[in-house]
Amino acid sequence: MDKGQLRKSLREKIASLTPDEKREQSASVLALIKECKLPEGAVCVYKALPSEVNTDGIIEYFLEDRQVYLPVVEGDDIMLVRIDADTEYEKGAWNISEPIGERLKPEEVNPALTVTPLLGADESLMRLGKGKGFYDRYFQKVNTYKIGIAFREQLVKEVPCDIWDKQLDMLVLPDRIIKK
């Protein structure tokens, strides 16, 4: 199966999940992240779409004792905005909620840890993104510990890879963690 076919199949699987299933799996992912020993330092976390593992709890958890940055799309690249509990948001590219604030280049922040969105991943920690290449370009600019978070249904046998694809350091599923 090529990347396009796999993306289509995964979108269908995710669309079949009920809101309750997504909420329960998201809560389980958060609980496992809280148990992990992770690199110290700044964190980049994305604001999830309804089709993704909810990241609100993850953002709140890291805000307790870390600098937290959210990505914003600027042209073909990701910029980072530092957030806090009072940050205001606006709808950005693809109707994603983006923080309002100073936009920094990823290499200016160089987050120790990045929670990255994905459509699918495999047990060898290869990630299938949505196909726009934002995170592929981001990972070329920063040396960061890459954590993928996913619903159970997003774990696949094998992700087809290109030479620019970067392996995750950790994948957190609702019922287990896969590490390098």
Range of the domain at 61: 3-179
Look over the chain and give the mean of its residue pLDDT values, rounded to a whole number: 94
Question: What's 153's domain CATH number?
Answer: 3.40.50.10420
> What's the pLDDT band for 163 if we cut at 50, 70, 90?
confident
Q: Above 90 in pLDDT, residue 76?
A: no
Per-residue model confidence (pLDDT) at position 161: 85
For residues 164-178, give the mean pLDDT.
95
pTM of the model as a whole: 0.94
The sign of the torsion formed by the CA atoms of 28, 32, 35, 39 equals: negative
Per-residue model confidence (pLDDT) at position 164: 81
Report pLDDT digits (tens) over 147-156. Answer: 999 999 999 9
Q: Above 80 in pLDDT, residue 1?
A: no
Per-residue model confidence (pLDDT) at position 162: 82
The whole-angstrom separation of Cα 33 and Cα 112 is: 15
For residues 49-57, give the mean pLDDT.
95
Q: Above 80 in pLDDT, residue 131?
A: no
Lowest pLDDT segment from 34-43, 78-87, 95-104, 165-174: 95-104
Domain count within the chain:
1
